[in-house]
Amino acid sequence: MAQIIVYGHRESIDRRRTALSEAIHGAVMSALDYPPEKRFQRFIALSDEDFVHPADRGADYTIIEISMFEGRSDAAKRALIAELFARIERDAGTPPHSVEVTITETPRVNWGIRGRNAEDLSLGYRVDI
C-alpha cells in the first residue's frame, strides 16, 4: 500500500496534475512492482502565500510525500526516488532540482483498509522487494 500526497503551487498543480499523476504512478509501478489499479494520490494545490520555499526551486517546485507499508529494500526505495525524478522531468517538465520526495514507512498493523487491519489482508502484490 502506498498513499501519495503531492504539494505545489496552485497554478503549477492545475497545469501539470495529469502529467504528475502519470509520472508518479509509473514510477511506483516500475520501482515497487505495484499493480496498475492501485493508484492512491492526493494533490494539494497551495496559494503562493501558503507554499514558502527558496526562490531557486522555481514556480513548479513540488513536494511528494509517500506513506507505505514497511518492507521494501533500500534498493527499491532508491529506485523509486530515481524513477520519480526521471519521470517527473520527462513527463511534467520539472527538473529534479525542483522536486523533493520523502518516504515514510509504517508496519501494516498500523493501517486500516477496506474495514480491516492491513496485517490481516491479502494484498495481491509483494511488499518485500
Domain membership flag for residue 125:
no
* Nine cell digits for residue 110: 498500523
| pLDDT at position 53 | 96
CA pair distance 52, 4, nearest whole angstrom: 21
Residues of the chain with pLDDT > 90: what percent?
78
Domain membership flag for residue 127:
no
Domain of 51, CATH number, reads 3.30.429.10
pLDDT digits (tens, 9 = 90+) for 56-115: 999 999 999 999 999 999 999 999 999 999 999 999 999 999 999 999 999 988 888 888
DSSP-derived letter for residue 129 is -
* Nine cell digits for residue 116: 480491516
Q: Is the pTM of this model over 0.85?
A: yes
What angle separates helix 10-32 from helix 74-92, to the nearest 10 degrees?
Answer: 140
Domain membership flag for residue 17:
yes
Range of the domain at 104: 2-120
DSSP three-state, residue 45: strand
Domain membership flag for residue 97:
yes
- pLDDT of residue 125 exceeding 70, the answer is no
- Does residue 117 contact residue 109 with C-beta atoms inside 8 Å? yes
Q: Mean pLDDT in the chain?
A: 93
